Amino acid sequence: MTAGGLLVAIAFGTLLGLGGFTFHYGEGLSYFSRDPAACVNCHIMQPQYDSWQKASHHGVATCVDCHLPHDFVSKWIAKGENGFWHSKGFTFQDFHEPIFIGERNARLLQDNCLHCHFDLVHELLPGSTTDANAVSCVHCHRSVGHGETVGLGKFEAVDQDKITQAIKNHDAQ
């Protein structure tokens, strides 16, 4: 084996070893399940998990049911994207605290509310969910998924402008 080949083999082995260790240490296999306990692998999610256990949807919906698409391909794409961004955020500690759902995942959450509750809300839907300031299920039903409190205290009215500004300020740092 040439010196260049040996260096490539060592680099590949090192990356493979580090990747395998990180996957094992981070309990990577658990993320392939539907078990809500997998979401608590990151300690920052403990308040969300605890509050979900006391919320009205505890007996009928898990994290995956509300926070990921229901079709196979989209679900695994979203799991991969979220996994990457969560891993990056928690590794480099560059996520917003307290954590909150981002715009893309908020749309997904809304879609899942409508998917499961279509029979109840189908007459309300025409024109109410397409505008930028559309009706959002969690605007009124905020406590359904995670109960009355989560994280550091009671839910407060969401001011989207404040959230957008907080993200921009955080990203500018």
51-92 pLDDT, tens digit per residue, is: 888 888 888 999 899 999 999 999 999 988 988 888 888 788
Give the C-alpha separation, 2 to 23, whole Å.
31
**pTM recorded for the entire structure:** 0.68
With bands split at pLDDT 50, 70 and 90, how would you rate the model's confidence at 169?
Answer: low
Q: What is the average pLDDT value for the chain, to the nearest integer?
A: 79
Considering Cα of 162, then 165, then 169, then 170, what sign does the dihedral take? positive
Are 71 and 78 contacting, i.e. CB atoms less than 8 angstroms apart? no
Considering Cα of 148, then 152, then 153, then 155, what sign does the dihedral take? negative
Identify which of 137, 136, 135, 142 has the alpha carbon closest to the alpha carbon of residue 157: 142
Give the C-alpha separation, 50 to 54, whole Å.
7
pLDDT at residue number 150: 47
